[in-house]
Amino acid sequence: MLYPKTILLLVCFFVCILPTWGQSISRRNAIVDVVEKTGESIVNISTEQLIRNAQQPLQNDEFFDEFFGLFQPRVYKTQSLGSGVLIDPEGFIITNEHVVKRARKITVVLQDKTRYSAEILAIDKKNDLALLKINSSNLFPYVKWGISSDIMIGENSIALGNPFGLQNTVTTGVISGTNRSLAVGGKVYFRDFIQTDAAINPGNSGGALLNIHGQLIGINTAIYSKGQGLGFAIPVDRVRTIIGRLLNYRKIKKYWLGLELQEIVKKNVSWQVRIQSVAPNSSASEQNLKRGDYIIGINGIPVNCLFDFRKTVFLKDFGNSISLKVLSGENVRSVTLTVNSLPLSEMEKKIWQRLGVLIEGTRRGMKIIAVRKDSPAARIHVKEGDIILSVGRYAVKQAIELNKVLRFYPNKEIIPVVIVRNGTHLEGKLILE
């Protein structure tokens, strides 16, 4: 039998203890850990886009109407369009192609509000993917690769985005389907989407879909407009293969090692890079590399996929050396290759001789990837990374266009040139050689 005083003491005990009882239970869970670990790797992407062009004033010159058109004034508008995912400490970013479509200037905002300019290295419109690079020598936090081929229906999924450059947005759910098809206008574009019920809002497009270990398993890309709670992501296995193909240093920077490589995926888990062919009289042939050899390391870093190899070469300069660890049969050996310039065509040689630049065509114009010392371009302080918009009176976007323009100007001719550097238009006059 309990006496009144005993009952009163018990009541007082529970009144005092119960409010603090739940405080000893931690609110931290696996999702909190994932967000804290990966949040800094999700960025906001804002762009300056071309939204209007002046009318073409030159209508009577058939030759230049066909090939060039006149360089025209542009109107820009800044828009915050979506999210991106840092996949490497050197500042490589994956996002959707539609996020950076028609972009003329790109700004990346990190979680701590730090802003950087970035450039588009390559895009794949069909797969709605773009590969960007932050213009900085800093090292950045990044998300580690997962594997989309072993995703389980019903497992937890976490969608991270940074739509406004203010703070990460987090939604959670489960994987509700794999190998989903997405039709646009009645046409099926993709057949292997990951479907999740984690909400993916428009500003989160280009963000990360993560598993409970914080590994990247997909790039968020679409919302199904006819149903609620249906989000889609490009599976990371496809993403990883595509960016390895997109980061083509031979095409982007005119680098040449004499190697053609092939990415091998075994049992959807093991990724390897195999030599498919070796060009004669190249740095690779001098080191007796052969078809069928596997590249397992570069500069002391394991090579697990084509992107690992190509990004290391991409970050080098002409004439630099790279050290490879190669598996040939059962033997592992080390070789050193030199990053050479791609053998030039006659047209590229002419441009190199007269202007002193190596160029690569982009959507904005001719991107300069190398400048010859004491050349006409060097004398007016043109730099690598600048975009040539016009030479003389005419816009140029391809080497063939630039070459045709140069044919009309004799040596020692002084001609105007317009370039873009970090989003700023600059004008100068150079003397052709």
- The H-assigned helical ranges of 23-126 are 30-38, 62-67
For residue 68, what is the DSSP state?
Answer: T
Q: Annotated catalytic, 128? A: yes
Q: Strand 424-431 to strand 92-95: parallel, antiparallel, or no bridges (unpaired)? A: unpaired
Q: Which of 128, 139, 130 is nearest to 103 (CA)?
A: 130
User: What is the per-residue DSSP string for 312-355?
Assistant: HHHTS-TT-EEEEEEEETTEEEEEEEE-EEPPPPHHHHHHHHHT
Cβ-contact 367, 377 below 8 angstroms: no
Catalytic residue among 41, 46, 88, 128: 128
Distance CA(426)–CA(408), nearest Å, equals 23
Catalytic residue among 83, 98, 283, 293: 98
Query: Which residues lie closer than 8 Å to 102 by C-beta, 6 or more apart?
Result: 49, 50, 363
Q: Where are the beta strands (DSSP E) in 72-168?
A: 74-86, 92-95, 103-109, 115-124, 129-134, 156-161
Catalytic residue among 205, 282, 375, 390: 205
Q: Annotated catalytic, 334? A: no
Type of residue found at 70: L
- Return the ∠ at Cα 401 (arms to 100 and 71), rounded to 5°: 65
Q: Annotated catalytic, 213? A: no
Distance CA(50)–CA(102), nearest Å, equals 7
Would you name the residues annotated as active-site residues?
98, 128, 205
